[in-house]
Amino acid sequence: MLPQPPSTQPWYSKIGAQRDWIWRGWQIRYTYIRSGADRTPLVFLHGFGSAIGQWRYNLQPLSEDRTVYGLDLLGFGASQKAPAEYGVELWMAQVYDFWRSFIQTPIVLVGHSLGGAVALAAAASYPEMVQGLVLLTVPPSVQERSSSKLQALGASMETAFASPLLLRSLFPLFRRPEVIRKGLKLAYANKEMVTEELVALFADPPRDRGAAGVLCRLFRAKNRRDYTPNVKVTLPQLEMPILMLWGKQDRVIPLDWGRKLAPLNPKLEFVEIENAGHCAYDECPDIVNHQIITWLKSHLMPPL
């Protein structure tokens, strides 16, 4: 069994019933909160470096009238730190097999950042699985990033930096709480939201066996052309309703990118969240939850 997160953590009781599932021989952590209502389930996919604990302010409120699930993508959270070839194809297969194993009815995928890229690709590849899509930001692909000279330079520097020897030597630094705290303060618009509880959510998984190897693989994978989908190509192909939420102060994936995506699909509803950075669902959970509930009622619930 993989290490269990401490049940004494304040967020532990807020994210439902955690379980482990063996997928392709690897251990996967997921959680769920069942509802008696027979409405489209929600499946939550976290962002890079995150885990199901990040949904601690969203899962319970959104489970009041439907069943919700949260999934730790392979290599993240309490899922196994496997020596795999990481990228959207792998995570998309994980999501699809999870759906076939536990749900088997159409779902709404809720994805943040990297999880948004996985959700987007899954919706395009498995339309029978996805009835609706909620994207809490979605990153540009390597091709789309390379259209900017500055971003292309950044990608080249990332590739050079992705030496396994260098990354392994720096890994103890990356997982130090004070370093994680500084990184989170760049991602969050409201610095007071970067609490000890939040830092612990990000600091615990890197202590797992194999975490340093996963970091090396992820850095190498991030600049592969197949790491994430081409958003501007994929988004217009989708035929299900889409809600896209973006923090107005997002410095990780700036709002301008979201505004360019909004017109690409007539079924897409774009909402800008005030006073929020990259993690709007955690910084402004009441607003985000309300937006999702309102959108679900409008697009995926039959009239009374």
User: What are the φ and ψ backbone dihedral angles of 281, each rounded to 5 degrees?
Assistant: -60, -25
The count of structural domains within the chain is: 1
Any idea which residue has 């970091």 for tokens? 215
Tens digit of each residue's pLDDT (9 = 90 or more) over 31-74: 999 987 789 999 999 999 999 999 999 999 999 989 999 999 99
> What CATH number should be reported for the domain holding residue 79?
3.40.50.1820
Would you place residue 171 in the very low, low, confident or very high pLDDT band (cuts 50, 70, 90)? low
In a domain, 1, yes or no: no
In a domain, 5, yes or no: no
- pLDDT of residue 282 exceeding 70, the answer is yes
- pLDDT of residue 21 exceeding 90, the answer is yes
Would you place residue 173 in the very low, low, confident or very high pLDDT band (cuts 50, 70, 90)? low
In a domain, 269, yes or no: yes
Mean pLDDT of the chain: 88
Q: Reduced to 3 states, what is the DSSP secondary structure of residue 161?
A: helix
In a domain, 304, yes or no: no
Residue span of the structural domain in which 165 resides = 12-299
Percent of the chain past pLDDT 70, that is, above it, reads: 85
Contact at 8 Å (CB) between 238 and 133? yes
* All residues at 6 or more sequence positions from 100 whose CB lies less than 8 Å from its CB, including other chains: none
- For 185-228, the three-class secondary structure string (H helix, E strand, C coil) is HHHCCCHHHCCHHHHHHHHCHHHCCCHHHHHHHHHHHCCCCCCC
In this structure, the strands spanning 26-33 and 17-23 are antiparallel
- pLDDT of residue 157 exceeding 50, the answer is no
In a domain, 7, yes or no: no
